[in-house]
């Protein structure tokens, strides 16, 4: 695999990734396509191996340093579905990966799949090749691929992976889209109020400074807040980021993470929504893993890391230990008190009937529907509440300024 740059016959600069036996062969292949090679280097030099640049890299990958993979869930889902189609058509894995590399447009994913293709061509399994890039291919993804390779149903597993990835991305996008408008309203409201307190209000209330009168308590509060915002704005700019940084550091500790997860689940309105999201992810992931042939204990271990809530993850971990000792899945979930009756009853029915995967899918669909409905209702409720709150704040400011002006004739000197 070579990363190359070249010139077309029209003089346009082009760059890309191409498979060739040598740089000389690459030059001949590109010449047939009307591209004149100007530079070529092995793809490994610019690809991510173990999510770190090799020593031959010419550029610093800043997004990777900051923790951004540059590969969206949608990009990964599309590539997964394309690979499933190629393998289902009977194309050998190496040839399918070669065709996939040519089809992928996302640069970073294209480089990574080029390296994966080379590893597979050298004799590694697809799962082992993907496991070298944990920031792009999760443990769930790798284990499902491994199960598909072991069972000989890799194309089926890839289709399930694509469906799972797309459904998770769609649910997340719906939630983000629903909360985007309220978030913009909050930001704009804070910006407007900040400008009023720092710039506008001090100029308006300056006329009251020379008046030896007793101002209404609302006006005194307004002047006090405005003076603090004008004189100590830098304290706010330092204190808020410091508070956020300190909270993030505390949350990263085991004790802080437990406190934060418990607080989130116990929060009014949003706590139940967060629990439903976690339960939906638990049921959907476990159903997908079991349907793909991943052993139950391994699937429970993977799901524990997918849930991303320490309280629920601890329950799943204890359930896995109980299953190892011969218990059913539903019993430890019921004892925990963290899983609603719908979940463990459906799981118990699935265990008795031999349709556990289907029951888990039903649970996931049920909670996804409830999440969408609650997010929609919450958004509809937030909009008027935020408008009323912003209107109330503006009304307080206007009232505090106008009251002294209207009562100028009635002010009594101190």
Q: What's the pLDDT score for residue 64?
A: 42
Rounded CA-CA distance 318/332 in Å is 7
Q: Is the pLDDT at 177 greater than 70, yes or no?
A: yes
Rounded mean pLDDT, 395-413: 70
Asked, for residue 67, whether it belongs to a domain, the answer is no
Alpha carbon distances (Å) from 189 to 184, 224, 226: 8, 20, 16
Asked, for residue 368, whether it belongs to a domain, the answer is yes
Asked, for residue 177, whether it belongs to a domain, the answer is no
* Residue 150 burial (10 A CB sphere; 0-12, 13-18, 19+): middle
CATH number at residue 378: 1.20.81.30
Residues 299/290, Cβ–Cβ less than 8 Å: yes
Asked, for residue 144, whether it belongs to a domain, the answer is no
How many domains would you assign to the chain?
Answer: 2
Rounded mean pLDDT, 151-174: 78
Rounded mean pLDDT, 255-271: 84
Q: What is the pLDDT of residues 361-386, one digit of tens each?
A: 888 888 888 888 887 787 777 778 87
Residues 43/3, Cβ–Cβ less than 8 Å: yes
Segments forming the whole domain that contains residue 348 = 197-414
Listed in order, strand segments (DSSP E) in 9-64 are 13-18, 35-42, 48-49, 52-53
Q: Is the pLDDT at 228 greater than 60, yes or no?
A: yes
Q: What does the block give as tokens for 279?
A: 């339960």
Rounded CA-CA distance 272/67 in Å is 30
Asked, for residue 245, whether it belongs to a domain, the answer is yes
What b/e readout covers 1-25, taking b as 16+ CB neighbours within 10 angstroms?
bbbbebeeeeeeeeeebbbbeeeee
Q: Is the pLDDT at 313 greater than 50, yes or no?
A: yes
Q: Which residue has the higher pLDDT, 316 or 410?
A: 316
Give DSSP secondary structure letters for 155-224.
Answer: HHHHHHHHHHHHHHHHHHHHHHHHHHHHHHHHHHHHHHHHHIIIIIHHHHHGGGTT--B---HHHHHHHH
Asked, for residue 125, whether it belongs to a domain, the answer is no
Task: Tell me what percent of the residues of the chain surpass a pLDDT of 70.
Answer: 88
Helices (H) and strands (E) in the chain, counts: 18, 5
Q: Which helix (H) or strand (E) holds 4?
A: strand 2-8
Asked, for residue 346, whether it belongs to a domain, the answer is yes
Expressed in angstroms, the distance from the first to the final Cα of the chain is 86
Asked, for residue 220, whether it belongs to a domain, the answer is yes
Q: What is the pLDDT of residues 12-70, one digit of tens each?
A: 777 777 777 777 777 777 777 777 777 777 654 344 333 333 333 333 444 444 444 46
To 5 degrees, how large is the angle CA 49–CA 103–CA 11? 95
Q: Which helix (H) or strand (E) holds 6?
A: strand 2-8
Q: Residue 408's pLDDT band (boundaries 50, 70, 90)?
A: low
pTM above 0.85, yes or no: no
């Amino acid at each position: 695999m070579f990363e190359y740059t070249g010139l077309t016959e029209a003089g346009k600069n082009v760059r890309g990734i191409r498979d060739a036996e040598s740089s000389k062969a690459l030059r001949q292949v590109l010449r047939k396509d009307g591209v004149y090679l100007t530079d070529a280097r092995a793809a490994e030099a610019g690809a991510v191996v173990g999510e770190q640049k090799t020593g031959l890299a010419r550029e610093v990958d800043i997004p990777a340093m900051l923790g951004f993979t540059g590969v969206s869930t949608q990009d990964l889902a599309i590539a997964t579905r394309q690979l499933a189609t190629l393998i289902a058509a009977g194309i050998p894995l190496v040839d399918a990966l070669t065709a996939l590399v040519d089809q992928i447009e996302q640069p970073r994913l294209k480089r990574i799949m080029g390296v994966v293709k080379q590893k597979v061509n050298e004799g590694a399994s697809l799962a082992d090749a993907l496991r070298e890039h944990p920031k792009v291919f999760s443990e769930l993804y790798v284990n499902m691929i491994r199960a598909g390779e072991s069972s000989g149903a890799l194309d089926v597993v890839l289709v399930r992976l694509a469906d799972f990835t797309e459904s998770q991305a769609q649910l997340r996008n719906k939630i983000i889209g629903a909360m985007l408008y309220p978030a913009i309203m909050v930001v704009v409201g804070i910006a407007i109020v900040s400008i009023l307190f720092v710039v506008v209000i001090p100029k308006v209330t300056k006329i009251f400074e020379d008046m030896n009168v007793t101002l209404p308590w609302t006006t005194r509060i307004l002047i006090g807040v405005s003076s603090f915002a004008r004189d100590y704005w830098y304290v706010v700019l330092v204190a808020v980021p410091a508070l956020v940084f300190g909270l993030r550091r505390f949350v990263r500790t085991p004790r802080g993470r437990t406190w934060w997860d418990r607080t989130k689940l116990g929060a009014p309105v949003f706590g139940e929504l967060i629990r439903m999201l976690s339960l939906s992810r638990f049921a959907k992931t476990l159903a997908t893993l079991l349907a793909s042939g991943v052993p139950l204990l391994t699937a429970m271990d993977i799901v524990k890391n997918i849930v991303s809530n320490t309280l629920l993850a601890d329950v799943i971990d204890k359930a896995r230990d109980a299953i190892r000792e011969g218990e059913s899945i539903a019993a430890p979930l019921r004892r925990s008190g963290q899983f609603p009756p719908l979940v463990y009853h459906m799981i118990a029915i699935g265990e008795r009937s031999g349709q556990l995967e289907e029951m888990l899918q039903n649970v996931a669909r049920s909670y996804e529907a409830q999440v969408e409905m609650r997010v929609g209702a919450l958004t509809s409720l937030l909009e008027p509440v935020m408008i009323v709150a912003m209107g109330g704040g503006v009304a307080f400011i206007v009232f505090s300024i106008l009251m002294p002006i209207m009562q100028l004739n009635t002010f009594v000197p101190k």
